[in-house]
Amino acid sequence: MSKVTDPIADYLTRVRNAIMAKHRVVDIPASKLKKEMTKLLKEKGYILNYKFEDEAGYQGNIKIALKYNPETKVSAIKALERISKPGLRQYCNSNDIPRVLNGLGIAIISTSKGVITDKEAREMNIGGEVLCYVY
């Protein structure tokens, strides 16, 4: 088994692949950062629900129930795009926080106040590392 060098990219890829295969649920190895990202996705309405399965002495799993339109079967998530990569980190200050699809999407940003969206970062006037775009 190979070591994953970019856990966030792995998280986004697993969700992206599950959406393309029209799966209802996707399993992802957990971490604190991934849990916070999952909470944000639920809060903003991109996923139906999630469940953290923590085991003693082990990081655990995240089960994510994906959200689809009941009639058209189109996913609520159109795209997941990794921005900051291990070899090339993307930081921005509070003035340079990007707007995703002119405010229709969200940028997930890791800040000193935790993992928040671009809108919350602008309101709090803090910058951080731009992890990914979701729209």
The residues, any chain, with a CB within 8 Å of residue 64's CB and separated by 6 or more, are 15, 18, 25, 26, 28, 38, 41, 47, 49, 50
pLDDT given at position 21: 96
The Cα-based distances of 35 to 2, 95, 96 in angstroms read 23, 27, 26
Does 1 score more than 70 pLDDT?
no
pLDDT given at position 2: 64
pLDDT given at position 57: 67
Per domain, the residue ranges of the chain are 7-134
Class of domain 7-134: alpha beta
Distance CA 30, CA 59 (A): 6
81-133 pLDDT, tens digit per residue, is: 999 999 999 999 999 999 999 989 999 999 999 999 999 999 999 999 999 99
32-89 pLDDT, tens digit per residue, is: 999 999 999 999 999 999 999 987 668 899 999 999 999 999 999 999 999 999 999 9
The more confidently predicted of residues 32 and 3 is: 32
Confidence band, pLDDT 50/70/90 cuts, at residue 9: very high
